[in-house]
Amino acid sequence: MLHLYLTTFPSYPQKIERKSLSEAFIQQILQSETGEVHPIRIERTAQGKPYLPDYPELFFNYSDSGDTAVVATDSRPVGVDIEKIRPRSFQGILERFFLPDEIKQVEASTEEERLIRFFRLWTAKESLLKQIGCGLGGEMRSYEVCQNRARCGENELSLQTFVLSRNGQITPYGNVPVSVGDTLLTLCSESGEDPRFYLLPSMNDSI
């Protein structure tokens, strides 16, 4: 079953503290999923994708942005990416990493709409690369994302994007207005099943 676990971090933790909170959050979820009471061994492939050598039937992926973090788990490879929508220059990123049809997805009438569509595209592309276990960089132009599907050669994967609004609501993308300050979460999976969300206490309160 596809699970998404969400938590929050303290505002602006130090880099070393954030790394520690991330590792603690991941271990909390993996131990809950496996029933293990001891820290679970995590290894990485040559491309950097994390995996569990002692639990090959369990796949997971992690992402954080701003004060929000997410762990996705499934019985098959899964990728997840979240990004808080914030003002930034992105035209150079589009031209360097994305395909012409993907760039067309970003085109809109206002600057804010373009920004929101950029972050949706970015989270889709990153979640896809994390699902298949590739690094960023030039690989981003080798795979295409389009609406709710991702194409890897002849294979297709499911993409699901959700809006994490500032009031704590989680809604499928396209069902509610989106604005700067909201967070987008995109999930890339083989099954395309609807994930089950779990909202956990802040890690600041859990350690």
pLDDT per residue over 72-117, tens digit each?
999 999 999 999 999 999 989 988 888 888 898 898 889 999 999 9
Which is it for the CA torsion 118, 120, 123, 125, positive or negative? negative
Return the amino acid letter for 163.
V
pLDDT at 64: 95
Q: Is 11 exposed, middle or buried (0-12, 13-18, 19+ CB in 10 A)?
A: exposed
- Look-up of token digits 């002849």: 154
pLDDT at 187: 97
Range of the domain at 114: 3-206
Mean pLDDT of 155-163: 95
Which is it for the CA torsion 114, 171, 199, 192, positive or negative? negative
Q: Are the C-beta atoms of 127 and 119 separated by less than 8 Å? A: no
Report the CATH number at residue 128: 3.90.470.20
Q: Among 186, 130, 190, 131, which Cα is nearest to 162's?
A: 186
- Look-up of token digits 């009438």: 109
Mean pLDDT of 156-164: 96
Number of domains the chain is built from? 1
